[in-house]
């Protein structure tokens, strides 16, 4: 499928208005969850003041909103779930950042030319939702002027078993959505080929968190 805004992999159906509203409410009430806090803290440690942010698959918006609270200058949020985009838009409005965030229904993996560079590019728990890792990670890395922050499932037998069980459950419920354990080394290789090197690595539950910096 070659479409810049339609959702492959059943993404728009799985991330529906009910889930989006629930996550938006949870963020307003409790802030980011543990993996979200871990990636936000790691980015802030490497400097966010004045930075432009591109978040791909921003969900209910919590991460880029936290980066704006920490001093980022503006953010673009690309997503394939209209429900998540609406939730992120409402959260931005509620927190007074409406004019600093652009929300777009857009698939960077199918149309990368339509997306501008940013100082900091973020993909939190997105790579595992998309079947074609390189098509997603390459344009993200190319557009990162300074930092690229990624979280993806760590390579471990129990993660592999968990994702297989999740996919079996999705198949049984006739969902089109599937999760993917893309090999972390392949992700590192794609990012390295685009001029960025890892400067931070940590784990939060099933998630591996890596911050890359542009080398030159």
Ligand X SMILES: C[S@@+](CC[C@H](N)C(=O)[O-])C[C@H]1O[C@@H](n2cnc3c(N)ncnc32)[C@H](O)[C@@H]1O
Footprint of ligand X on this chain (CB under 6 A)? 11, 15, 56-59, 78-81, 84, 107-109, 124-126, 129-130, 136
**Minimum CB–partner distance for residue 36 and ligand X (Å):** 6
Residue 145 to residue 149: CA distance in whole angstroms: 12
How crowded is residue 206: how many other Cβ atoms within 10 Å of its Cβ? 18
CB-CB contact of 120 with 147 (8 Å): yes
Closer to ligand X by Cβ: residue 126 or 147: 126
For residue 161, the surrounding DSSP H or E stretch is helix 157-172
Write down the least CB distance from residue 88 to ligand X, Å: 9
Q: Which is nearer to ligand X, 48 or 106 (CB)?
A: 106
Give the per-residue SS3 of 89-139. Answer: HHHHHHCCCHHHEEEEECCCCCCCCCCCCEEEEEEECCHHHCCCHHHHHHH
Name which of 51 and 109 has its Cβ closer to ligand X. Answer: 109
Segments of 35-80 assigned E as strands: 52-56, 74-79
- Report, in Å, the least distance between residue 59 CB and ligand X: 3
CB of 178 to ligand X, least distance (A): 12
With CB atoms as reference, the residue minimizing the distance to ligand X is 57
Shortest Cβ 186–ligand X spacing (Å): 17
Nearer to ligand X (CB atom), residue 51 or residue 78: 78
Give the residue with the Cβ less far from ligand X, 108 or 197. 108
| Residue whose token pair is 């690229």 | 148
Q: Is 18 exposed, middle or buried (0-12, 13-18, 19+ CB in 10 A)?
A: exposed
Find tokens 């440690």 and name the residue. 45
């Amino acid at each position: 499928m070659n479409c810049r805004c339609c959702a492959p992999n059943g993404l728009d159906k799985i991330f529906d208005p009910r889930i989006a509203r629930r996550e938006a409410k949870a963020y307003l009430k409790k802030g980011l969850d543990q993996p979200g806090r871990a990636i936000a803290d790691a980015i802030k440690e490497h400097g966010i003041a004045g930075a432009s942010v591109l978040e791909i698959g921003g969900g209910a918006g919590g991460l880029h909103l936290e980066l704006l609270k920490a001093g980022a200058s503006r953010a673009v949020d690309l997503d394939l779930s209209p429900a998540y985009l609406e939730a992120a838009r409402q959260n931005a409005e509620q927190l007074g950042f409406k004019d600093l965030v652009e929300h777009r229904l857009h698939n960077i993996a199918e149309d990368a030319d339509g997306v501008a560079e940013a100082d900091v590019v973020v993909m939190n728990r997105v790579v595992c939702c998309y079947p074609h890792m390189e098509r997603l990670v390459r344009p993200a890395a190319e557009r990162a002027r300074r930092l690229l922050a990624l979280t993806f499932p760590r390579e471990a037998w129990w993660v592999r078993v968990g994702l297989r069980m999740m996919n079996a459950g999705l198949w049984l419920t006739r969902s089109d959505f599937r999760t993917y354990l893309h090999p972390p080394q392949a992700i590192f290789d794609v990012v390295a080929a685009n001029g960025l090197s890892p400067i931070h690595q940590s784990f939060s539950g099933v998630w591996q968190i890596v911050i890359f910096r542009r080398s030159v």
